[in-house]
Amino acid sequence: MRLSLDVSGNGPRLLVEDLESGEHVFLCPLELASFTEATPEDREDWLRVGNYRGERRPGKRS
């Protein structure tokens, strides 16, 4: 993983790059701030991808 500050857009964004896959994502300050408002359950759900997703809980969005 590599983190860097991108200032080439309309405002500063965090660039997160996966050096193995080449995938990347830009996160604006609002998106980053939303991480601080998330519950521990929200954060746990973010990590559940692919085979790690498991059973979906009723009433939860995926």
pLDDT, tens digit, for every residue of 20-39? 999 999 999 999 999 899 99
CB 16 within 8 A of CB 5: no
Structural domain harbouring 41: 2-52
Give the total number of structural domains in the chain.
1
pLDDT, tens digit, for every residue of 39-51? 999 988 888 876 6
Q: Is residue 59 part of a domain?
A: no
pTM (2 decimals)? Answer: 0.66
What residues does 14 pair with on adjacent strands? Answer: 5, 27
Element containing residue 27 per DSSP (H, E): strand 24-27
Q: Is residue 12 part of a domain?
A: yes
